[in-house]
Amino acid sequence: MKLFITGGTGSLGTELLAYSRKQGWEATAYSRDEVKQGLLKRVYPEAHFLLGDVRDEEWLELAMRGHDVVIHTAAYKQVPAAEVNSNQAVSVNVVGSLNVVRAAIRAGIHRVVGISTDKACAPVNCYGATKMLMEKLFQEACFWSDTQFTLVRYGNVLGSRGSVVPFFEEQAKKGLITITNPKMTRFWLTLDEALSLIFAAFAETEQGTILVPKCFASSMAVLAEAVAPGVPTKIIGTRPGEKVHEQLIHAAEAMHTCDIGALFRIYPATSTFESNLKEGFEYTSDTAPQLSVEQLREKIYG
């Protein structure tokens, strides 16, 4: 197996490098961060590291050649930043994703797995809208190429770079945690759970589908208590572009979604698939199974 990872020096990319070593796969990390590439090269000397940007379609194609699977993780991911830098979010998350599609097809890649987010479901912010368009681009490509495109959509990865957990941990050292809204809920999963979902996408037999895990959720107040028990909190209000509750499946998608056990499979809206879900089904972070403080702490710290 030869694996090509866009955004390969991020939290997920680093985990994929570690997994590739265990499996004996040949992995290439493609990213813009030369410092992180240098640091990771010391840890994973067997891996390949290429400097590059997903906005460079020609170089993407050349870099991808000879690989079997592409995992597309590269994106601008911070909601507040995307709200005030929408042109850059579009150029990387949308145009960059289209470049990945075109480059992968021309390079003869067997399968491409796109990493999406719950914020792509009924999006209300720029980041979510760009990831929704990425999903649509991947699904459309299935109709005019031999390359297989699959997507995974999930919530927040606990402890990943830029996530709220390390932010709360740093604040706790100063004796005060800031919370936008204590009743706000989010879906949570570990890096290992995210990896398992990606590997499920490797084996997906349907074209253009989005695989969604049955995630657990919690309020931000519960998360704060799990990360920093007893540390005082201060409510600062919802940030621009934030929802109070997230969705992984909305009612319009439920019409072409199938419950397949551990996962949901969302088919392209243009498919003729008939859902096995009840009419009006939605999967939201306030109605999903809720984690207790102890359960969430176990997920974060083991």
**What is the per-residue pLDDT across 111-133, written as a single tens digit (0 to 9) for each?**
999 999 999 999 999 999 999 99
pLDDT for 102 equals 98
Amino acid at 70: V
The domain spans of the chain are 2-155+190-212
> What is the tens place of the pLDDT at every residue in 160-212?
877 899 999 999 999 999 999 999 999 999 999 999 999 999 999 999 999 99
To 10 degrees, what angle do helices 164-173 and 220-227 make?
Answer: 50
Averaged over 217-224, what is the pLDDT?
A: 96
Q: Tokens 């089904």 label which residue?
A: 281
pLDDT for 192 equals 93
The dihedral through the CA atoms of 90, 91, 94, 95 has a sign that is positive
**Structural contact between residues 138 and 93, judged by C-beta atoms closer than 8 angstroms:** no
> What is the tens place of the pLDDT at every residue in 7-32?
999 999 999 999 999 999 999 999 99
Q: Which residues are catalytic?
A: 119
pLDDT for 143 equals 87
Phi, psi torsion values for 189, nearest 5 degrees = -150, 160
Averaged over 39-64, what is the pLDDT?
A: 98
> Kindly report the CA angle at 196 between 6 and 183, in degrees rounded to 5?
90
Instruction: Give me 66's structure tokens.
Output: 């000879």
pLDDT for 69 equals 98
Query: How confident is residue 109, by pLDDT bands cut at 50, 70 and 90?
Result: very high
Superfamily of domain 2-155+190-212: NAD(P)-binding Rossmann-like Domain (3.40.50.720)
End-to-end CA distance of the chain: 30
Averaged over 256-272, what is the pLDDT?
A: 93
Average pLDDT, the chain: 95
Query: How confident is residue 38, by pLDDT bands cut at 50, 70 and 90?
Result: very high
Please tell me the distance from the alpha carbon of residue 189 to that of residue 186, in angstroms, as a whole number.
Answer: 10
pLDDT for 160 equals 80
> What is the tens place of the pLDDT at every residue in 270-294?
888 889 999 899 999 999 999 999 9
> Kindly report the CA angle at 97 between 135 and 69, in degrees rounded to 5?
90
Percent of the chain with pLDDT over 90: 92
Residue 302 pLDDT more than 90?
Answer: no
For 127, 230, 292, the CA distances from 117, given in Å and listed in that order, are 9, 31, 23
Averaged over 73-99, what is the pLDDT?
A: 97
Rg (CA), the chain: 19
Please tell me the distance from the alpha carbon of residue 125 to that of residue 117, in angstroms, as a whole number.
Answer: 12
Averaged over 244-259, what is the pLDDT?
A: 95
pLDDT for 105 equals 98
